[in-house]
């Protein structure tokens, strides 16, 4: 078959007229600029693709656009990026019953009854936050009491500290709990007074007798939870997230949202394991999907556990548990195997490392791999909490990115002092040291473990003080970062950490028009004021996705 060229290609080059562009003016705009420094502006033009066409200062001529939005003098910052969160955990958590504000058993039962009535379609009622001490009950509540509120479906509610759970009779039946069920090592099945009958409360390791019976959420429930997660994050001013530990179920949820044009959050996904990574992405990371809203970037690897439960892997024993150094969850050989498998496909590894030994081994593995896999790899270490000062310089080498959560520092301070003792804290949450050594930071929240509120993160990052202003002057304040660095950590640097620079994270021409309008200037507000920042509007890709009442 012959192929004939009939017309000039010039005819094909006619520009498509813009669908609509929008001027957002009367704002106090700020962004990290091309030079990595703060840049201020007063108006922004969004093009018809939802990208920033132009940012303007008072001196610039205002261009002609199809639409205009008046910013009413609000402060405009780039959409905030959470470099370490668990998107589905946020959504599923937000859909469960919260009893933390109840002051009596009666009040709690009332709230449980109402929640069950409002959520008829849910096969199980799940919740958390009860505290029998606060209720003045003087004992644990019972399954029979819970049955008086909900008897037609299983109910399981975690105590405020997560160390006990309260079940109704149907939940215990579903879990096969009877008078002959024994308490497991490290846990206790509570009994009725003077009887072997289980009372309905399961303490510590006994909780798993119950939790294993709770069905995994169905895809339709996941869709609801994901919509809720987007809502929660946008309300907090967050427009993009690195999702840590994405399963195939999570990924399908994101795709279902994307397929029906309901994906408003940008997600940089890190698979829950090598098999999930390949099942989702195949031989290479996926392309950016849905106009830069979703990409499978790489793989999350748990090198060790957490400090609180003494699962973090330390070089020396825990100060409050001599002889225990914690353990690697992924041994050195396996870590290197997974890293090779990831690197061969250009997948980006995100290595969870909390303790000194874990961070040392992560850095060593990265140094070894960097010889075989040169180039722009952006090896991520997640948390990077407790680093042997002798190892700190490793964060300035091989393009390592320390993905850290400022609020963990303020939450964990006393616990970290107990676990490590006063003399081993020099490399703890060492944000400034890492920057000074030429390393790269990205900031996040670890939500739902902590609140996703990035303004709390910005305040902690710049003060090392908690919400109560404690300790005054900050804990090891030499590790504070300045306000520009903190803002970069939650915007441009978090985008870079996910290979998204140039796509979003800054309000510069060509990047996606993701921004937040807030009621105060985060570069000028006091720490207390910063924590009280009100998000007025959140925009993603030139579309408003949240507006305060």
Residue numbers of the site for a second copy (CB under 8 A)? 1-7, 11-12, 14, 16-17, 19-20, 65-72, 74, 218-220, 222-223, 248-249, 252-253, 255-256, 259-260, 278-283, 286-287, 289, 517, 536-537, 547
Q: Which two tokens stand for residue 267?
A: 């997600």
- Residues 349 and 366: their CA atoms lie apart, in Å, by 10
**CA-angle at 73, arms to 71 and 74, nearest 5°:** 75
The total number of residues written for the chain in this structure: 549
CB of 104 to a second copy, least distance (A): 39
Q: What are phi and psi of 199, to 5 degrees?
A: -85, -20
Before 393, cis peptide (omega within 30)?
no
How far is residue 69 from each of residues 74, 410, 544, measured CA to CA in Å?
Answer: 12, 39, 11
Helix (H) or strand (E) holding 481: none
71 or 326: whose CB is closer to a second copy? 71
Tokens encoding 239: 């427009």
- Helical H runs in 42-120? 87-94, 105-118
Shortest Å, Cβ 428 to a second copy: 40
Choose between 204 and 278: whose C-beta lies nearer to a second copy.
278
Closest by CA to 73, choosing from 24, 27, 23, is: 27
CB of 385 or CB of 538, closer to a second copy: 538
Among 28, 155, 154, smallest CA distance to 521 is for 28
Q: Is there a contact between 155 and 168 (Cβ–Cβ < 8 Å)?
A: yes
For a second copy, the closer of residues 281 and 306 by Cβ is 281
Minimum CB distance to a second copy smaller for 188 or for 255: 255
- Burial zone of 242 (CB within 10 Å; 0-12 exposed, 13-18 middle, 19+ buried): buried
Q: What is the pairing mode between strands 535-540 and 515-518?
A: antiparallel
Token representation of residue 84: 């370490």
Q: β-pairing, 380-383 with 348-353? A: parallel
Q: Could you tell me which residues come within 8 angstroms of residue 535 by beta carbon, excluding any fewer than 6 positions away?
A: 235, 236, 237, 516, 517, 518, 546, 548
> Rounded to an integer, what distance in angstroms lies between the CA atom of residue 241 and that of residue 294?
10
Q: How far is the CB of 420 from a second copy (least distance, A)?
A: 42
> Which two three-digit tokens encode residue 114?
């109402």
Query: 277 and 342 in contact (C-beta within 8 Å)?
Result: yes
Q: Which residues, including other chains, have CB under 8 Å from residue 149's CB and lie 6 or more apart?
A: 109, 110, 112, 113, 116, 155
Residue 76 main-chain phi, psi, to 5 deg? -110, 125
Q: Please, what is the minimum distance in Å from the beta carbon of residue 239 to a second copy? A: 18
Q: Choose between 345 and 502: whose C-beta lies nearer to a second copy.
A: 345
Strands 198-204, 187-191: pairing kind = antiparallel
The whole-angstrom separation of Cα 455 and Cα 471 is 18
Residue among 212 and 260 whose Cβ is closer to a second copy: 260
Longest dimension (CA), the chain: 95
| φ, ψ for residue 426, nearest 5 deg | -65, -30
Tokens describing residue 183 = 């308490």
């Amino acid at each position: 078959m012959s192929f004939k060229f009939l017309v000039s290609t010039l005819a094909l080059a006619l520009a498509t007229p813009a669908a609509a562009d929008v001027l957002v003016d009367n704002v106090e705009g700020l962004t990290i600029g091309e030079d990595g420094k703060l840049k201020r502006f007063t108006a922004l033009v969004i093009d018809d693709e939802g990208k920033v066409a132009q940012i303007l200062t008072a001196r610039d001529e205002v261009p002609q656009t199809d639409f205009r939005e008046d910013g009413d003098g609000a402060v405009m910052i780039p959409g905030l990026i959470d470099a370490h969160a668990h998107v589905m955990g946020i959504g599923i958590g937000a859909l469960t019953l919260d009893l933390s504000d109840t002051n009596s058993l009666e009040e709690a039962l009332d709230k449980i009854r109402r929640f069950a009535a409002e959520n008829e379609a849910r096969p199980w009622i799940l919740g958390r936050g009860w505290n029998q001490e606060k209720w003045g009950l003087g004992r644990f509540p019972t399954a029979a009491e819970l049955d008086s509120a909900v008897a037609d479906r299983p109910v399981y509610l975690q105590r405020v500290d997560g160390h006990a759970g309260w079940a109704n009779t149907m939940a215990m039946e579903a879990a096969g709990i009877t008078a002959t069920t024994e308490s497991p090592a490290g846990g206790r099945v509570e009994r009725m007074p003077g009887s072997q009958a289980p009372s309905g409360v399961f303490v510590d390791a006994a909780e798993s007798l119950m939790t294993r019976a709770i069905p995994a959420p169905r895809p339709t429930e996941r869709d609801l939870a994901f919509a809720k997660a987007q809502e929660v994050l946008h309300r907090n001013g967050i427009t993009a997230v690195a999702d840590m530990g994405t399963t195939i179920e999570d990924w399908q949820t994101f795709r279902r949202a994307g397929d029906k044009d309901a994906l408003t959050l940008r997600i940089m996904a890190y698979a829950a394991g090598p098999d999930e990574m390949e099942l989702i992405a195949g031989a290479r990371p996926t392309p950016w999907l849905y106009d830069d809203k979703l990409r499978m970037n790489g793989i999350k690897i748990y090198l060790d556990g957490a400090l609180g439960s003494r699962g973090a892997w330390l070089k020396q024993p825990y100060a409050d548990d001599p002889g225990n150094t914690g353990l690697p969850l992924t041994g050195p050989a396996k870590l290197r195997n997974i890293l090779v498998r990831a690197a061969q496909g250009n997948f980006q590894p995100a290595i969870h490392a909390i303790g000194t030994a874990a961070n040392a081994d992560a850095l060593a593995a990265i140094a070894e791999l960097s010889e075989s896999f040169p180039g722009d790899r952006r090896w991520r270490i997640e948390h990077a909490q407790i680093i042997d000062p002798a190892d700190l310089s490793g964060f300035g080498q091989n393009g390592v990115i320390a993905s850290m959560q400022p609020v963990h520092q303020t939450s964990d301070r006393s616990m970290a002092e107990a676990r490590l003792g006063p003399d081993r804290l020099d490399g703890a949450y060492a944000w400034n040291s890492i920057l000074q050594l030429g390393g790269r930071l990205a900031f996040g929240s670890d939500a739902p473990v902590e609140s996703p509120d990035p303004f709390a993160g910005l305040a902690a990052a710049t003060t090392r003080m908690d919400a109560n202003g404690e300790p005054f002057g900050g804990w090891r304040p030499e590790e504070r970062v300045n306000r520009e660095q903190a803002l970069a950590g939650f915007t441009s640097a978090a985008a870079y950490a996910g290979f998204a620079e140039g796509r979003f994270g800054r309000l510069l021409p060509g990047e996606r028009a993701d921004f937040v309008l807030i009621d105060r200037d985060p570069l000028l507000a006091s720490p207390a004021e910063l924590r009280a920042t009100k998000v007025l509007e959140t925009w993603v890709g030139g579309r408003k996705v949240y507006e305060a009442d």
